[in-house]
Amino acid sequence: MSLPARFTLHDGDFAELDESADYETTASAAPGPVVARPALPSAPNLSASSPQPVQHPAQPHQSLLSKLVRRYPSLDKDVLTALLVSCDNDIDAASTLVEGDTNASSADDALLAASLQERENRRASVRHRRNNAVFPLQPFQMDSLVSTLKHIVVPALHAHFEELVLPDTTDQTASILYSLQHVQVTALSLPNVTVRPAPDRKSVFLTVLNAQLELHVGSWKYESRGIVPVNDAGQARLSVQGLTILLKLEPRWSHDGTARINVSECNVTVDGVTRFKTYGAKADWAYSAIALVLKPLVLSYVKEAIADSVSRALALYLRQWSCSRTLDASPGSTASPSATQAQLTAAE
């Protein structure tokens, strides 16, 4: 088979070579032109003591694979698949490796590289599952965790509410545009705070019942888009009774026995009476009308803001706290890993 004209080097003629390609030259013993051809891709180097994962396409091109299987029916399909993937779906390069390698070592090396890559992917998946698994606690561990959370989370919750300033917000509906700024807690009562394990004993519920809050709205603005537009601004006080906060805490255990407590859920509801009073507006006659419109909007904003603020604050607080020592069976003892932990470690 003759090569294209651009691959033949005649005396003094170099203009037709593609300078962007990598070429190698061969010369025959008999006099004649020197022929240059593109360098073929080499087989993966597996001689290193600690092979690195080979980055190749995850799947071969099916039409190219079918053509390669028809071209070399005597070779195993898995070998051809690995070879095509190692050549970046270049069927010509894969065919050249097969035809020029009588011992099929290139195909074997490609298959081995793909096998090592698959094994490394499995090990990475096992490590990810192990580091993010939620293991059930032993009864003494759960009791110790609940007792410890009562002593550290409840005071942290009180301290957070005493300094709580809700973020400013601007929102609109079909008929009005409003904004709230400098919303701060001025009075707080948390009479009933409970910490209890969930029925599956994999998580802990922290519940605040019948809480009472008073908030001061430093600035509100209101704009009506009705037939008679109304624009006004002022300050307000919001009193909330019957506030309920439900948090779900999940302990996640690593294989070495350390613990992280994650806040997976935080829901805020109001079952009691709410009072919203505005003052400082220019239109005194519009006080009741504006309060009637703003009250449900402000209450919805307060519930969402409290849920977001409490979950973020507790997550940050618990991230800095490790309870591994409080869950040991006895002082100085080391807790043995669970069956699930042992299986994940063995799988790796």
pLDDT along the chain (348 residues), means of 10: 40 42 42 42 41 52 80 78 77 74 58 71 73 62 81 85 86 81 89 87 88 89 76 85 91 66 88 84 64 83 90 84 49 40 41
- Give pLDDT, residue 246: 93
- Give pLDDT, residue 342: 40
CB neighbours of 64 closer than 8 A, spacing ≥ 6? Answer: 84, 89, 91
Q: Go through the domains of the chain in sequence order and give each one's CATH number.
A: 1-39 (no CATH), 56-131 (no CATH), 139-340 (3.15.10.10)
| Token representation of residue 24 | 């190698």
**pTM greater than the 0.85 cutoff:** no
- Give pLDDT, residue 70: 83
- Give pLDDT, residue 214: 92
- Give pLDDT, residue 209: 92
- Give pLDDT, residue 158: 85
- Give pLDDT, residue 221: 85
Rounded CA separation 346/254 (Å):
14
| Token representation of residue 286 | 């519009």
- Give pLDDT, residue 151: 85
- Give pLDDT, residue 340: 40
- Give pLDDT, residue 105: 59
